Chains A and B, each alone.
Chain A
């Protein structure tokens, strides 16, 4: 397995928010989804996933609910709040601006 790309904390927040914007899911599913959609490039470390999830919950951008998972076990499902939705838009806009700028610099030979 190739070494997973280190993710800056801010970008992890963005990824989580985006993932949750489509559907409510538990931590395991979030990690799997990010890995899937990024074509296995981004592999989230559990050691950074759960602190991030709890921090986002404290800040009020996501909310949590215990429900029955697909396996039948109880799991903690996270979903986006209205506040979080606004935050996602802002962060997406920021990311787009930043990445465009970096692209411009990098493609400049």
Chain B
């Protein structure tokens, strides 16, 4: 009857006092019976009582022994230990506060990072059976599909065939990102947002139902259907006042009418947190794009049939792709295989390693905090060692003292944990505020698992600090402690050995953190200072997208717009140069186009060449400081259908015209099926900072076949002042044209390296914190040693020792653990820095310069920390010290 057992115990727990009284009653009854019996045999009252007592034995002892059988003794002991612990700690509030703060720091950082990792990496996507969702890619190899892109986007025609012929998926859907210009409506200004073009079955594939209204049907998803759009919850609230009447109303996106048919739930974000609008993809793109096999434009998401794995599905699709590839052997850009990845992996794969590295760094900080607390506890125990010796001599068991010690440690860690939880809450709030762009940021919030994690961490840290610091209190030295009188001055250096060891480990961990932080900082600096191939100072950029309805491509309208715009902008005072291009360096890969060189022999079938495609005006290169290496830029006659020129980059010339002069040769460009003559070669630029340059082909903007791009303005002075005048010019030309991403080049490049700078900053702050903790620890230990040895030092100074000698000796004593820790840390760093190798840009993990710098920084901080107590030691007044007992 186990449960009855438990019930009895619980009952005794709650009614302890009643149990005590009852026991007394019971024993007294027994005594009285005994006395009665004695009296019955003829003894007097007094004799009877004494006889009974003799037989009974010591009533207190009986009571205690009986009480000892009560099983809830453990809890009673624990509550008593807690009370004693609180009392002792409140006697030294300074120590308690410092220890709690340090613990709060370590635990807070760990809990915050754990919450992030749990939300972003570990929590499954908020879709039903989300492990059945995969992302599909085309596998383009140089031999089949042109270019080396194992996770390439999917062409419209390939998707259509996959959708028809596959046997592994219950549904397959298309997604493509785009920007969207919302026209002014209802008093709201026009604005530029992110939208996604999706196939009608995307929401059912993911398993999402709109919160209001309906999703797309297959009839909506065609070129001839009326425009329909689904809004995000945040857009609906922000711009349309959360008014349900928005359903079935028309809004204008890119100057085209769309009926709002549904609002998605607030938690939904796909493909990322910035998407606010969803439109049907077949409605947006013409037939020839949606059936092309070589135009890799889309992402494909699929829901696997039960029992099918991602690899099997990819193999199934590869067979289909192979068939298409083999029946289009003349087209080198039709890929022959498919690839798949779980959807979660696709979304968060890039941040996985940096997050885990951050976690490792915070664990280091936590360890350092625990070691520091252990150090403090040891110091406290050392200062109370006489008291503890007396208690041990009086019979206080070793387990009892250990229990008290652990309870104190637990109290400190628990309070620190609570404070740390608050810190973590604040840190997460700050993170959500500063990085709302972070992937899956909406999934980060506190829950029961985080609370459980915090409790586990608190208990582990309490055990760690408590046990480590308890090694010092062993009773073999009790006799020595009791014997010690104030007149004998023994070497106290050995007593601090435990603290020195702890300190060495702390310093070692600090060095590891410092190393990682320095490498990341150096890597980030290298990244930011790479030459992207153009001028980056005092250059302003802004994105413009001309709505297709009013500026038909191909046609004269876009070309005229850009020509007038550039004329007017160049005429502004303060503008040194201006240019327009579909994408400036650092803005991304954007797109490429296949081509063949007319003068060269045709490539074997299945082989194709491609290069990044850009449209630019003739003055763009000079405006951005991209050097014109040979030839010239576009002529003035390059307009509309007269266009026949192209400019290539240096890498293009090297790669595709090795050892010959490209000028005058002709390119047959697949995009638009046009033939262009090469008139100039310009310097290379990086399409993305941190990536190697790729061959580029520049086509004249005034052909009128592009209606979007970046306007770049260079000025001699502060260029951000030109932002407003330029925007006014644009408004003047077309009142309804919104302008987006108004950034200087430096800001633009900074945005694309935001992740690296964020990571470097975080780890650097952790490293700085641990350096401070380690320095404080060093300071504490050396102060303690000096205090213990003050008598001995006083005698030595009185006997003629040089003060400088004392200073040096104390410094050496303090620096020795720091040096050992440094060596430990350097050795460990040689291993740990290999883990961040993938996060480093043009920086080696075993960078000797960084190693040396970190070592120097550490020794300097250690010396600074040790200087004050060592100085005080050398300045001791021997008379005062010797008189103090």
Interface residues of A (CB under 8 A from B): 26-28, 45-47, 50-51, 53-55, 57-60, 66, 69, 71, 73-76, 81-83
A59 B57 Cβ-Cβ under 8 A:
no
A58 B61 Cβ-Cβ under 8 A:
no
Chain B residues with CB below 8 A from A53, complex form: 66
- Which of B8, B23, B33 gathers most chain A CB within 10 Å? B33
Provide the bound-state CA to CA distance between A58 and B36, in Å: 30
What 1/0 mask marks residues of chain B from 9 to 41 whose CB sits below 8 Å from any chain A CB? Answer: 100100000000011011101101110100000
B69 partner, pick from A51, A69, A73, beta carbons under 8 A = A51
Chain B residues with a Cβ closer than 8 Å to the other chain, count: 29
Known contacts A58-B5, A60-B1, A60-B4; is A27 also within 8 Å of B65 by CB? Answer: no
Known contacts A46-B55, A46-B62, A50-B27; is A58 also within 8 Å of B8 by CB? Answer: yes
Shortest A27–chain B CB gap in Å is 6
Known contacts A54-B70, A58-B69, A75-B26; is A47 also within 8 Å of B33 by CB? Answer: no
A51 B70 Cβ-Cβ under 8 A:
no
> Which applies to chain B's interface (DSSP): helix, strand, loop or mixed?
helix
Provide the bound-state CA to CA distance between A71 and B37, in Å: 12
Chain B residues with CB below 8 A from A45, complex form: 57
B29 A28 Cβ-Cβ under 8 A:
yes
Known contacts A60-B1, A60-B5; is A76 also within 8 Å of B66 by CB? Answer: no
B33 A28 Cβ-Cβ under 8 A:
yes
Shortest A86–chain B CB gap in Å is 10
Known contacts A46-B55, A58-B5, A58-B71; is A71 also within 8 Å of B26 by CB? Answer: no
Across the interface, name the chain A residue whose C-beta is closest to B68: A51
A47 B57 Cβ-Cβ under 8 A:
yes
Residue B453 at the chain A interface, CB threshold 8 Å: no
Provide the bound-state CA to CA distance between A7 and B855, in Å: 72
Apart from A71-B32, A73-B29, what 14 extra A-B contacts exist at CB < 8 Å?
Answer: A27-B30, A28-B30, A46-B62, A47-B56, A47-B57, A47-B61, A51-B66, A53-B66, A58-B5, A58-B12, A60-B1, A71-B33, A75-B29, A76-B26
A74 B69 Cβ-Cβ under 8 A:
no
A50 B66 Cβ-Cβ under 8 A:
yes
Shortest A85–chain B CB gap in Å is 12
What 1/0 mask marks residues of chain B from 325 to 358 whose CB sits below 8 Å from any chain A CB? Answer: 0000000000000000000000000000000000
* 18 A–B pairs (Cβ distance < 8 Å), ordered by A: A26-B26, A46-B27, A46-B56, A46-B62, A47-B56, A50-B23, A50-B27, A50-B62, A51-B69, A54-B69, A58-B12, A59-B5, A71-B33, A76-B22, A76-B26, A76-B29, A82-B1, A83-B1
Across the interface, name the chain A residue whose C-beta is closest to B12: A58
A76 B25 Cβ-Cβ under 8 A:
yes
A73 partner, pick from B4, B9, B32, beta carbons under 8 A = B32
Shortest A98–chain B CB gap in Å is 25
A57 partner, pick from B8, B25, B56, beta carbons under 8 A = B8
Chain B residues with CB below 8 A from A47, complex form: 56-58, 61-62, 65
Chain A residues with CB below 8 A from B23, complex form: 50, 54
Provide the bound-state CA to CA distance between A76 and B66, in Å: 15
A-B pairs with the 10 shortest C-beta distances? A28-B33, A55-B69, A60-B5, A47-B57, A50-B66, A54-B69, A51-B65, A28-B30, A76-B26, A51-B66
Provide the bound-state CA to CA distance between A73 and B36, in Å: 13
Across the interface, name the chain B residue whose C-beta is closest to A50: B66
Chain B residues with CB below 8 A from A50, complex form: 23, 26-27, 30, 62, 65-66
Q: Which of B773-826 contact A (CB under 8 A)?
A: none
